[in-house]
């Protein structure tokens, strides 16, 4: 069953610095939700706060769906919510093989049948058996990111948090990984919360999105509203124009 997410009045403070200030949003079960902003906007901090990597100063994070749902930070919560990190070169343990990296979450939760699950996970992300015992330094950026996705999915979560999953990849590899993620989402009925600075990627992958700046939510709108330029905030418009790219001044 799909599970959604509700974030209410979230506030995250590091020492004196307010990284996230009173942010609220709701992600329906099975929906793909994007969070866009530039560096320092607090978008990655929100994701890390949701899964408990950053302490929450105020506000609430709760799962939405049928039945009793685990609370954030508990072990059952970990099985439902997983994350794919931005930097493929930093998200895999340098001294562990792909096999060990994938086996670890299973071992932690005492899930048996590891062999079959690992092979299936690799298969799902398009990596053959030859990759199973390689070390991360023997993999390309795109391959590492696939392993990271396989790791996130091996516990069969319902919600996937994606922190700029393709920013560090080459253009041609980006498209493959984006397609892979879309495909997985469709097959497993996952809920996505995706953070990016790239408007094109977010509008491609997400149905609704929230624009952030300086720790605050500037605007929440549907992806096709953004695509067609029906935005309300000046900041969003500036972002859109900047994303359109550089226009060279006429010579003279």
Partner 1 sequence: MRSSSVSWHDWLMSDRPASRRQASLGRAYAGWRTFARNRLAMAGLLTILALVVVAALADVIAPHSPYEGSLSTTRLLPPSWTFPFGTDDQGRDILSRIIHGSRITLFIVVLVAILAAPIGLLVGTVAGYAGGYVDAALMRVTDIFLAFPRLILALAFVAALGPGIENAVIAIAITSWPPYARIARAETLTIRRTDYIAAVKLAGASPFRIVLRHIMPLCVSSVIVRVTLDMAGIILTAAGLGFLGLGAQPPMPEWGALIANGRNYVLDQWWVAAAPGAAIFIVSLAFNLLGDGLRDALDPRADK
Partner 2 sequence: MRNAPVGPLLDVDDLRIAFPNREGAYVEAVRGVSFQLGRERLGVVGESGSGKSQTGRAILGLTPPQGRVTARRLAFDGIDLLTCPERQRRDLRGGRIGMVLQDPQFSLNPVMTIGEQIVETLQAHERVSNREARERALAMLAAVQIDRPERVYRLHPHQVSGGMGQRAMIAMMLVADPDLLIADEPTSALDVTVQLQVLKILDRLVSERGMGLIFISHDLRLVSSFCDRILVMYAGRVVEEIPSGRLNEAQHPYTRGLLDCLPRLGESRHPLPVLQRDPAWAR
Q: Look at residue 251 and give the partner it binds from partner 2, partner 1, none, a contact being a CB closer than 5 to 8 Å depending on partner kind.
A: partner 2
- At residue 67's C-alpha, the angle toward residues 63 and 68, to 5°, is 65
Query: Is 17 a binder of partner 2 (CB under 8 A)?
Result: no
Q: Which of 115, 133, 183, 233 binds partner 1 (CB under 8 A)?
A: 133
The interface mask with partner 2, positions 86-125, x = CB under 8 A, is ----------------------------------------
**Interaction between residue 242 and partner 2 (CB under 8 A):** yes
| Residue 68 binds to partner 2 (criterion: CB under 8 A) | no
Contact partner, 243, from partner 1, partner 2, none, Cβ < 5-8 Å per class: partner 2
DSSP 71: P
- Based on the shown chain and the rule CB under 8 A, indicate whether residue 243 belongs to the binding site for partner 2: yes
CA 163 to CA 153: how far, in whole Å? Answer: 15
**Ranges within 74-93 binding partner 1 (CB under 8 A):** 75, 78-79, 82-83, 85-87, 89-93
CA 214 to each of CA 69, 70, 137, 225: distance values in angstroms, whole numbers, following the listed order: 32, 31, 36, 23
Q: According to the binding rule CB under 8 A, does residue 238 interact with partner 2?
A: yes
Distances (CA, A) of 252 to 9, 199, 245, 248: 52, 33, 21, 12
- Judged by CB under 8 A, the chain residues 137 through 166 that form the site for partner 2 are 141
Q: Where are the alpha helices (DSSP H) in the chain?
A: 43-50, 75-80, 98-108, 114-124, 141-153, 171-188, 199-205, 223-227, 234-244
Q: Which long-range contacts (CB under 8 A, 24 or more apart) does 98-106 make?
A: 98/122, 98/127, 98/131, 98/132, 98/133, 98/134, 98/135, 98/136, 98/139, 98/147, 99/132, 99/133, 101/147, 101/151, 102/147, 102/150, 102/151, 102/154, 105/151, 105/154, 105/155, 106/154, 106/155
Nearer to partner 1, 53 or 71 (CB): 53
Strand partners, 25: 7
Q: Which of 15, 39, 66, 95 binds partner 2 (CB under 8 A)?
A: 39
68 binding partner (options partner 2, partner 1, none; Cβ < 5 to 8 Å by kind): none
- Using CB under 8 A, which of the segments 35-43, 45-53, 111-119, 208-216 binds partner 1? 45-53
Using CB under 8 A, list all residues that contact partner 1: 48, 51-53, 75, 78-79, 82-83, 85-87, 89-95, 97, 99-100, 104-105, 108-109, 130-131, 133-135, 137-138, 148, 151, 155
Using CB under 8 A, list all residues that contact partner 2: 38-39, 141, 170-176, 178-179, 182-183, 197, 199-201, 203-205, 226-228, 238-240, 242-249, 251
């Amino acid at each position: 069953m799909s599970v959604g997410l509700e974030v209410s009045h979230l506030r995250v403070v590091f020492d004196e610095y307010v990284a996230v200030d009173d942010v609220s949003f709701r992600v329906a079960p099975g929906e793909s939700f994007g969070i866009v902003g530039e560096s320092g906007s607090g978008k990655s901090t929100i994701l890390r706060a949701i899964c408990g990597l950053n302490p929450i100063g105020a506000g609430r994070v709760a799962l939405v769906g049928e039945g009793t749902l685990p609370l954030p930070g508990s072990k059952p919560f970990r099985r439902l919510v997983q994350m794919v990190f931005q930097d493929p070169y930093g998200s895999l343990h340098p001294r562990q093989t792909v096999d060990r990296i994938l086996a670890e979450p299973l071992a932690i939760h005492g899930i048996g049948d590891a062999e079959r699950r690992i092979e299936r996970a690799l298969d799902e992300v398009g990596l053959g058996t030859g990759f199973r015992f390689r070390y991360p330094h023997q993999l390309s950026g795109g391959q590492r990111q696939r392993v990271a996705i396989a790791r996130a999915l091996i516990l069969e979560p319902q919600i996937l948090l994606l922190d700029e999953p393709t920013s560090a990849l080459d253009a041609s590899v980006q498209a493959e990984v984006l397609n892979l993620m879309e495909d997985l989402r469709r097959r497993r009925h996952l809920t996505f919360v995706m953070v990016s600075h790239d408007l094109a990627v977010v509008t491609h992958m997400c149905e609704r999105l929230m624009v952030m700046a300086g720790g605050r939510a500037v605007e929440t709108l549907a992806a096709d509203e953004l695509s067609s330029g029906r935005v309300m905030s000046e900041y969003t418009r500036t972002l859109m124009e900047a994303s359109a790219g550089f226009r060279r001044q006429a010579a003279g």
